[in-house]
Structure formats: C-alpha cells, structure tokens
A and B are shown apart, each in its own frame.
Chain A
Amino acid sequence: MNTELSVSLWRGAQNGRYETYRVPQRPSQTVLDVVTYVQRHIDPTLSYRFACRVGVCGSCAMTVNGKPRWTCRTHVAKVAGGGKLQIGPLANLPVIKDLATDMQPFFEKWRQARGVFAPTKTRHDAIAQIKPDTPVRKTADAAIECINCGVCYAACDTVRWNAEYLGPAALTRAWTLVNDERDGGNIARLQAIAGAGGCHACHSHQSCQELCPQALNPTAAIAGLKRRTAAAYLKGEITV
C-alpha cells in the first residue's frame, strides 16, 4: 500500500481548476475521509457537503476519478488506482464552490415530475391496509430506497444533452408513486412526465443503474413509465 495519496480536488466555482494535495493513506479509508482530511489539516477553506457519513442521507456524492459516487461509502482502496484520486463536484449541476453543487434543479425536477404523494384519504379515515407481497407493492418497494444523492442524475448522458429532461431520480420517484395504491395523483403525474423532458427522452444507457449506490434500477422504472404513459395516452387519459 502507498503511504501517501495524490489527491486532486476541484477548487472554485464553475470556472475553477484542480489542485493537488498529499494525504496519508490509511486502512479502510473512505473518499469522504480524504476530503475531510484536506479540510481539517491542509486547507480549511475547502467546501463540501456531508451529513450522516453512513450512506443514509445522500449528501456527500461527488465525482471520483470520473464517476459519480457516494463518497462516505466509497473506499479509497477500491477507486484510487496508483494512489491517485481526482475528486470534483457532481456533473450536470451548477457548482456553488469547490465540491458543493447546487441541488435545486435536481429537486425542482422531482416537483415537476409530481414526486409528491397525493393522498386519497384524510387523517379521519382508517389506515390503509397494504399487503407487502402484491406485485404492485413489490414494484413500488423496488425503488423506494432512493436517498436523493444525485449520483444517477450526474451519471446520465440524457440529462447532459437535454436540459428539460427530468432525470432518473425524479422519474424513479414518480414510478414508485404510480405503483402506490394509496396515491390518487396518477393522471396528473403521467401527464407531467409524458412531455418533451419526460420519460420518453431516456435512451436506456443504464449509467443510472450501474452507478446507483443503493443498487436501484431507474432504467427499469423509466421503462415502466414509458409503458404506462403510452397506455394512458391511447386511452385518452392524458394529452400531449
């Protein structure tokens, strides 16, 4: 094992540059550990974002040696070939400073995709009885563990080419709700994702599926939405 890592970190905003730092290499070290070391021991002005450090909050995603990853659960030994790391902000999002991106467009697209639960009952009704083993519930559960880290959004070629495209995370969230028996907002949701930037813009490159840290399959979710919106359009439930 090398005793020292050569770590290039993005410094500045959109028009910044990479600067290289020497960081001691340790066993079981994560990429987030490396970034934290630089900030605490070398340059306290380094900006980055993290919260839980255990793969739950989805805050710490960055571009590591060219691929978007959740840095708190990415071991240096797995990604630092030859003791070198290049760490930048997530792609496809505006850079605020250094490794911190502005996530607003990402969450705005969740809103546009109607990624919010539309209740069909009130607090005065009995709690809905949902069987966990029905096919529709299993489909909803398959994508429910999304942590909103933005890795899929940064990995997506279509997001890079088409500014209107809602992206894998927002569409996966929409697919979860489409399959939620308790939700009553499906027609409006399918209408929202049937336009130019909706699910049909996806080219099925599957980078989202390959890099999702939760091992979800947004490509399959988007394929499901393509079928569901096509059926709704043919039935006249939605328009273009």
Chain B
Amino acid sequence: MNVRLYLWQRTTAAVMAPLVIVHIAVIFYATRHGVSAADILARTRGSIAWAAFYGLFVFAVSIHASIGLRNILSEWTPLPERRVDACVVFFGLVLALLGLRAVAAVVLP
C-alpha cells in the first residue's frame, strides 16, 4: 500500500465511523418503536438527506473494502499486481452498484 491508498483508506474509515453509529442507531430506533417497512419507506422516499447519507456510505465502503481486499490479495496470493488491481476495481464497482441499487430502492419516489 502506498501513501495515496493509505490516505484513501484512512479517510473513508473516518467517514464511515459516524455513519455506522447513525445507521445502528436508526436500526435500534426502528425495531424498538415498531416502525414498519411501509413507515420507513414513507420517510426515505424522496428524501435527499437519506439518499446523501447512504450514498456516501456506499461510496466509502466501496473504496475502503477494495483497498483492504487489495492488501490481502497482494500479500496472500501469487497474483501479479495488475491482476490484483483489476480484481479489486471490479469488486469495488460491484459493491458500489449493489449498494447504490439498494439506496435507490428506498429513496426513489
């Protein structure tokens, strides 16, 4: 890992830390107050704030996890560097695609 990847990984970790806390707090709130799926969708659909919140979350996770996977592949497998980079870019794009699809499902009106 070079200094640029290090900064991306640490920055995305710093971004994710408060997002994870809010995400868990929302889960606790929803389960303890008996908020139904319909209630949740009523609040999230058309909400720019929730779209930005989970959009940022997906963006940070995709980058952070890809850099971590890159370290594992480069240290624990004999794959050449170019192949490792191609694998993790693909992995990051899949994560981003799946995550944004899930965000779209709950925020698009």
Interface of A toward B, CB cutoff 8 Å: 158, 161-162, 194-196, 198, 200-201, 226, 229-230, 233-234, 238, 240
Which residue, B2, B3, B74, B76, has most C-beta atoms of chain A within 10 A? B3
CA–CA, A230 and B2, complex, Å: 10
Partner among A161, A201, A240 whose Cβ is within 8 Å of the Cβ of B4: A240
Q: Are B1 and A226 in contact (CB under 8 A)?
A: no
Of A158, A161, A162, A229, the residue contacting B3 (CB under 8 A) is A229
Q: A201: which B residues are within 8 A, CB to CB?
A: 1
**A234–B7 touching, CB < 8 Å:** yes
Q: Which of A158, A162, A226, A238 contacts B6, CB < 8 Å?
A: A226
Q: How far is the CB of B85 from chain A (nearest CB, A)?
A: 11
Residues of chain B at the chain A interface (Cβ within 8 Å): 1-7, 10, 74-76
Q: Do A196 and B1 touch (CB < 8 A)?
A: yes
Chain B residues in 8 Å Cβ range of A158: 75
Are A200 and B74 within 8 A (Cβ)? no
Q: How far is the CA of A158 from the CA of B4 in the complex (A)?
A: 19
Q: Closest Cβ of chain A: how far from B5's Cβ, in Å? A: 7
Q: Which of B6, B75, B76 is in CB contact (< 8 Å) with A200? A: B6
Bound form: Cα–Cα A123–B19 in Å:
58
Q: How far is the CA of A213 from the CA of B73 in the complex (A)?
A: 33
B2 touches which of A161, A234, A240 (Cβ 8 Å): A240
A234 partner residues in chain B, CB cutoff 8 A: 7
* B10 neighbours in A (Cβ, 8 Å): 230
Q: In the complex, which residue of chain B has the Cβ closest to the Cβ of A226?
A: B6
Pair A240/B3 contact, Cβ less than 8 Å: yes
Q: Are A238 and B3 in contact (CB under 8 A)?
A: yes
Q: Are A233 and B75 in contact (CB under 8 A)?
A: no
Q: How far is the CA of A182 from the CA of B4 in the complex (A)?
A: 29
From residue A219, how far is it (CB to closest CB) to chain B in Å? 16
**Docked-complex contact A161 and B6, CB < 8 angstroms:** no
> In the docked arrangement, what's the CA distance between A198 and B2, Å?
7
Ordered by A's residue number, 29 sampled pairs between the chains whose C-beta atoms are within 8 Å are A158-B75, A161-B75, A162-B74, A162-B75, A194-B2, A194-B3, A195-B2, A195-B3, A196-B1, A196-B2, A198-B2, A198-B3, A200-B1, A200-B3, A200-B5, A200-B6, A201-B1, A226-B6, A229-B3, A230-B6, A230-B7, A233-B3, A233-B4, A233-B7, A234-B7, A238-B3, A240-B2, A240-B3, A240-B4
Expressed in whole angstroms, the minimum distance between the Cβ of A224 and any Cβ of chain B is: 14
Residue in chain A with minimal CB distance to B74:
A162
